[in-house]
Amino acid sequence: MEASMPKRKEPGKSLRIKVISMGNAEVGKSCIIKRYCEKRFVSKYLATIGIDYGVTKVQVRDREIKVNIFDMAGHPFFYEGTAQLCCLIVVWRITPVTSEPQVRNEFYKDTQGVILVYDVGQKESFDALDAWLVEMKQDLGPHGNMENIVFVVCANKIDCAKHRCVDESEGRLWAESKGFLYFETSAQTGEGISEMFQTFYLNILDVCEHGGKRPATNSNASFTKEQADTIRRIRNSKDSWDMLGIKPGASRSLFSPACLS
């Protein structure tokens, strides 16, 4: 499956896109969306029940984009099956528009953009990002193709510097090795939020204007998978031996030019 084509794609005409938020409970998904759409921050935790749905309009370059935002609950309770999950859609509207809500049985289908959020002070929420991608891939099925979906990773709650345990390089490496956008954000202070959404929508527009395919020049990947794996292995090494991938006490002869050739 390719990222679905916009209904109208002539320059200057409006587009309709679907974006979804994903990530563990309490990482700040709803607050990021609220900060951008309503310019406010709610410090009290109000867990999303099922999915919150909203519609907003944004202007990107010469295009008006109608964005259907599906803000998902991160609690595992809601992920026993997407069918049950769709029964729990709560509809809200950011700006009133005349379009009808687009609620589908296969929840992840026809998504043009994903906001993938973790809390920089909660390692589990970062480690869980892979599982979120697996969940999406499973839902899209064997013919599903996530390559043309724009993903943005939000390393959220950067205002809580004292509790930070996932540093920028680790988050950025994970995101960029997958070709995803990466932003450091704080829904509380607003840092990084507008920049993140602007870049996210620009990238989605680029994909839509290229017939639902990611333009060749639009690759955000800084590392190949092999390079990223090597960097990750080095970062996780317990000592210099481990870093070099050799056993403690290995002799110098191992490094002779003959051995390396």
- Alpha-carbon distance of 141 to 192, in angstroms, equals 33
Span near ligand GTP by CB under 6 A; candidates 185-193, 212-220, 233-241, 249-257: 185-193
Strand order in the sheet with 89-91: 89-91, 51-60, 63-72, 15-22, 113-119, 150-156, 181-184
> Residue 177 or residue 186: which is nearer to ligand GTP going by CB?
186
> 54: which residues sit within 8 A by CB, 6+ positions away?
33, 37, 68, 69, 71, 91, 92, 93, 94
Span near ligand GTP by CB under 6 A; candidates 82-90, 126-134, 143-151, 155-163: 155-163
Going by C-alpha positions, the residue among 135, 40, 120, 51 that lies closest to residue 85 is: 51
Q: Alpha carbon of 68 to those of 101, 159, 165, 193: distances in Å?
A: 8, 28, 33, 18
> 261: which residues sit within 8 A by CB, 6+ positions away?
none
Report the nearest approach of Mg ion to the CB of residue 26 (Å): 8
Q: Which of ligand GTP, Mg ion, none sits in contact with 97, Cβ below 5 to 8 A by type?
A: none
- Alpha-carbon distance of 159 to 136, in angstroms, equals 29
Q: Which of Mg ion, ligand GTP, none sits in contact with 214, Cβ below 5 to 8 A by type?
A: none
Determine if 122 is a binding residue for ligand GTP (CB under 6 A).
no
Chain residues binding Mg ion by CB under 5 A are 29-30, 48
- Alpha-carbon distance of 250 to 255, in angstroms, equals 10
Determine if 159 is a binding residue for ligand GTP (CB under 6 A).
yes
Q: Which of Mg ion, ligand GTP, none sits in contact with 192, Cβ below 5 to 8 A by type?
A: none
Which one of 187, 196, 205, 208 is in contact with ligand GTP (CB under 6 A)?
187
> 243: which residues sit within 8 A by CB, 6+ positions away?
234, 237
Determine if 156 is a binding residue for ligand GTP (CB under 6 A).
yes
Determine if 47 is a binding residue for ligand GTP (CB under 6 A).
yes
Q: Which of ligand GTP, Mg ion, none sits in contact with 186, Cβ below 5 to 8 A by type?
A: ligand GTP
Which 72-91 positions form the footprint of ligand GTP (CB under 6 A)?
73-75
| Binding residues vs ligand GTP (CB under 6 A) | 23, 25-31, 42-43, 45-48, 73-75, 156-157, 159-160, 186-188
